[in-house]
Structure 1
Amino acid sequence: MLRRHFITAALAAPVVLRTHAARATEAVDVELVLAVDVSRSVDNEEQEMQFKGYAAAFRDRRLVEAMSRGPIGSIACTFFTWSDWNIQEMLVPWMKLDGPQAAERFAQAIDAAPRRTHLYTSISGAMDYAARLFGQGFEGTRRVVDISGDGINNSGREVGAAREDALNQGIVLNGLAVLDRTPPPPGLGAMQPLDEYYRERVIGGPGAFLMVADGFESFEQAVRRKIIREVAVAPPPGPLVERATV
């Protein structure tokens, strides 16, 4: 009798295991990953401008309307910070946003998130980390990564290789380049303008675009316009590069 019971349980066990292992995904119009630069070139005041800018964007009535107009009427969004090749910090896990109350909860989560600063700037590390976040409970008709930063890649692997890997997965990479008005230190040498760098080496995929903020004072305006365009149900053809100024 004991052996018969063991055999019966063993035969039934795989069915139970498959049931628990299966993870349902919920359909949304867009899966949007927000990747925010917290390297040492971003001081405390500038970091606060970034966080407040993102939170304000999700309190904007125009953004709430844009994300509700799709066939499904919702998006999924997550928010993380990045710096060195091995430093990415998830601050707001995936959340479904389908109206003003959900958008406000997301904004409040950004308000409450810790502010930390690290050293280097690894755009490639941010791309690699972001690419692994998709398919975690949601399935969007579009997968978009929104990378904001104020410097070029100086840590981790070559940014072009990371971009190619992301594009091969069907991910759209958009950029928000923040132009630093502070002159570079003497002896640093000529560097490619950041907006050109982001346009040529960071963004990519169908409908990808770059938003340029003229200093962190323009960040809030830039991020509002950028996310509204990203979550539009059928993004109209727009300029490859948009600019926001105070």
Structure 2
Amino acid sequence: MRIGSPTRRGLIGGALAAPLILRPAPARAMEPVDIELVLAVDVSRSVDEEEQELQFRGYAAAFRDPRLIEGIAGGPLGQIAVTLFTWSDWHIQELLVPWTRVDGAATAEGLAQALDAAPRRTWLYTSISGAMDYAAGLFGQGYEGTRKVVDISGDGISNSGRPVAEARSDALAKGIVMNGLAVLDRSPQPWTAGMPPLDDYYRDEVIGGPGAFLMVAEGFNAFETAVKRKIIREIATAPPPGPLVERAYA
């Protein structure tokens, strides 16, 4: 058959007109870790510049603590995945540290340095429900932990966004544990008059799920001690039964 024949031309044209079939890329395998830990940090207006700096330094110091490194190494897999974001109004959350595998002193130091360099910004309102909703959407991004934990730290009661009870219920339904770190301000603001004590509020309205607990920092100067103890307890493979509420002092 000649190339220029009608039959040949028809075969070529049909081949060119055939649709291109694209096969989907294989799904990326999730990397197993002992725990997926989301750290949610309050940067509402009640947290001044000095207090915000104490928070960031506290988280960085926690990942430089040899006891935390030892705790990670003691897990079945010897590695955890951590991400950190700041939160304020119901629609304001800023991811500062994307999911990071921590499997020893070097990777923990890398995370601490990322916190040292992270921007410090302050917003207005306090939306714990917004923080819960945002945190719940962060799981399943490259890592698969035997436990999924959200660690919410803050110094005020939610005053923006949907009811906290609804957001917490939705998160618990996904198998997420909600822990809390309540910072008791030694100089209460005028707008806190008539509100329930913050530690009671976090205990009753924020934390939830198997093994959930609340760490209370008695003032921002106690934050570093509180956050170290809290994360070390959270990453424990088989943590012994502990108190529902722990307190840390400067």
TM-score range, shorter chain: over 0.9
Q: 1:215 & 1:205 partners in 2: Cα distance?
A: 26
Q: 1:79 & 1:168 partners in 2: Cα distance?
A: 22
Shift of 1:38: 0.2
Partner of 2:8: none
Aligned-partner residue type, residue 85 of structure 1:
W
TM-score (norm: length of structure 2)? 0.93
Q: 1:2 & 1:138 partners in 2: Cα distance?
A: 47
Partner of 1:40: 45
Shift of 1:69: 1.2
Partner of 2:198: 194
Q: Show CA shifts across 1:166-209 (max 9, x none).
A: 00000000000000111442x86321000000000000000000
Q: 1:188 & 1:206 partners in 2: Cα distance?
A: 31
Q: Is the alpha carbon distance of 1:235 and 1:56 closer, same or farther for their aligned partners in structure 2, counting shifts above 3 Å?
A: same
Q: Tell me which structure has the larger Cα radius of gyration.
A: 2
Q: Of 127, 132, 141, which aligns to 1:136?
A: 141
Q: Of 10, 27, 45, which aligns to 2:20?
A: 10
Q: Show CA shifts across 1:29-81 (max 9, x none).
A: 00000000000000000000000000000000000110121111100000100
Q: Of 215, 218, 225, which aligns to 2:222?
A: 218
Aligned-partner residue type, residue 3 of structure 1:
G
List aligned pairs for 1:116-127, cutoff 5 A: 116-127=121-132
Q: Show CA shifts across 1:126-162 (max 9, x none).
A: 0000000000000000000000000000000000000
Secondary structure of 1:119's aligned partner:
coil
Q: 2:43 & 2:49 partners in 1: Cα distance?
A: 9
- 1:245 paired to 2:242: no
Q: Is the alpha carbon distance of 1:206 and 1:188 closer, same or farther for their aligned partners in structure 2, counting shifts above 3 Å?
A: closer
- 1:231 paired to 2:235: yes
Shift of 1:234: 1.1
Aligned-partner residue type, residue 10 of structure 1:
L
Partner of 2:116: 111
Q: Of 138, 157, 166, which aligns to 1:161?
A: 166
Secondary structure of 1:91's aligned partner:
strand
List aligned pairs for 1:13-162, cutoff 5 A: 13=22, 15=23, 17-19=24-26, 22-162=27-167
Secondary structure of 1:18's aligned partner:
coil
Q: Is the alpha carbon distance of 1:133 and 1:114 closer, same or farther for their aligned partners in structure 2, counting shifts above 3 Å?
A: same
Identity of aligned residues (%): 69
Q: Of 181, 195, 219, which aligns to 1:176?
A: 181
Shift of 1:10: 2.6
Q: When the two structures are aligned, how many residues end up with a matched partner? A: 239
Aligned-partner residue type, residue 115 of structure 1:
R
Secondary structure of 2:111's aligned partner:
helix
Gaps of 5+ in 1: none
Q: 1:172 & 1:243 partners in 2: Cα distance?
A: 20
Shift of 1:2: 4.6
Aligned-partner residue type, residue 18 of structure 1:
A
Q: Show CA shifts across 1:93-121 (max 9, x none).
A: 00000000000000000000000000000
Partner of 2:6: none
- What's the Cα RMSD here? 1.3
TM-score (norm: length of structure 1)? 0.94
Shift of 1:5: 5.6
Aligned-partner residue type, residue 144 of structure 1:
V
Q: 1:209 & 1:188 partners in 2: Cα distance?
A: 24
Q: Show CA shifts across 1:195-246 (max 9, x none).
A: 0000000000000000000000000000000000000111211100000001
